[in-house]
Amino acid sequence: MGVTKEQVESSLKAKLNPSHIEIIDTSGGCGASFAIEIVSEQFEGKRLLERHRMVNAALEEEMKEIHALSIKKAVTPEQWNQQQQQSNKSDAASA
C-alpha cells in the first residue's frame, strides 16, 4: 500500500489551507517520493524550519509510507506573489 499524490494533496489542503499547491511525483517507480511547492497564509511569521515542520506534521500518516519528500517551496501568499512577479520580469527580459 503506497501513498498517492492525491492523498498527499488532500491532507495538505485540509491542514494548511494553501492558496497554491503543486505536488510532483518524483518516484520514478521506486516508491512514493514527492516534491512539494506550497503557499499558505499559515506560514506567516514562521521560520523555514517551522514551515517545513508544519508540512511534515500535516503528512504524519503519509510519511510512514513516503520514501522521500522534498519541500521545494513553503512560502506565504505575499512571498509567492513577489516571486511570481520577479520570474515574470526575468522571463520578459530574456524574451
Query: Which residues are at the interface with another protein (CB under 8 A)?
Result: 48-49, 52-53, 56, 60, 63, 68-72
| Closer residue to another protein in complex, CB, 1/30 | 30
C-alpha cell, 39: 503557499
**Shortest approach of another protein to residue 41 CB, angstroms?**
20
Q: What is the DSSP letter of 67?
A: S
What is the DSSP secondary-structure string of 8-46?
Answer: HHHHHHHHH--SEEEEEE--TTSS-EEEEEEE-GGGTT-
| Closer residue to another protein in complex, CB, 44/61 | 61
Q: Are strands 68-75 and 20-25 parallel, antiparallel or unpaired?
A: unpaired
| Closer residue to another protein in complex, CB, 70/92 | 70
**Shortest approach of another protein to residue 54 CB, angstroms?**
12
